[in-house]
Amino acid sequence: MPVTINGNGSITGLAQGGIDGTKVVTASAQPAGAILQTVQGFSGTKTITNTSANGDAIECPASVSITPSSASNKILIHFHASFIHGNANDVGFWLLRNGTVIGNSQRTTENNVCFSEASMPTDYSDWKPQTISFNFLDDAQNTSAHTYTVRGGGIQGSKSNTNKALPKLGASNNEEMVWGGSIATSGNESNAGNMVIIAQEIKG
């Protein structure tokens, strides 16, 4: 059967698999907003860390690395995790690219500046984990590999650091920070949860 390009733009007469060599569309030919690649970091490991006042926030076990194809593209981050903190106070979360905090609030006069914040419930129990989810559209920066991580921990009380945006914990913090489930059990009730971080390169 002859191959015919019709006036409406359709093509008839092609055999299945007959144009294999032209099926590949390069990243540079994709339209703006196209998803060029997707990478996922996952962890089902529970970590329990005893924190200290003004200490470092605790890193989530799930991280993701992605290498952009162009510096003009974007990196879209999706994050979701199960956590619990050892009191009914506030918990801050920081997003980092290659160890550097990104996406933080610009309100630098606050006692604690972080990417996202959650409060443990007033009926706090150490077998009732919570969840945190957020998204962020980052600039690709360059074509080097980028590793995205998340840190979290208690932010009750003012930080001693001059730079309030650092991933540091609050002054009244000597509790356990748990990624991936509950601290303790209630009878037969012991809860676990996973952590996932996804990076997508978006054509700029």
Q: What is the pLDDT of residues 180-199, one digit of tens each?
A: 987 765 555 566 789 999 99
Residue 71 has pLDDT above 70, yes or no: yes
46: tokens are 């529970």
- For residue 37, the model assigns a pLDDT of 97
**Of residues 114, 48, 57, the one with CA closest to residue 83:** 48
* C-beta of residue 165 within 8 angstroms of C-beta of residue 101: yes
Average confidence (pLDDT) over 83-110 = 86
- For residue 66, the model assigns a pLDDT of 98
The whole-angstrom separation of Cα 181 and Cα 103 is 26
Q: What is the pLDDT of residues 38-58, one digit of tens each?
A: 999 999 999 989 888 889 999
The whole-angstrom separation of Cα 177 and Cα 42 is 19
**Of residues 45, 48, 42, 114, the one with CA closest to residue 79:** 42
Which comes out higher in pLDDT, residue 121 or 6?
Answer: 6
- For residue 70, the model assigns a pLDDT of 96
In the chain, where the domains are located? 31-77+122-149
Average pLDDT, the chain: 85
105: tokens are 């609030």
**Residues in Cβ contact with 11 at an 8 Å cutoff, skipping those fewer than 6 apart:** 3, 4, 5
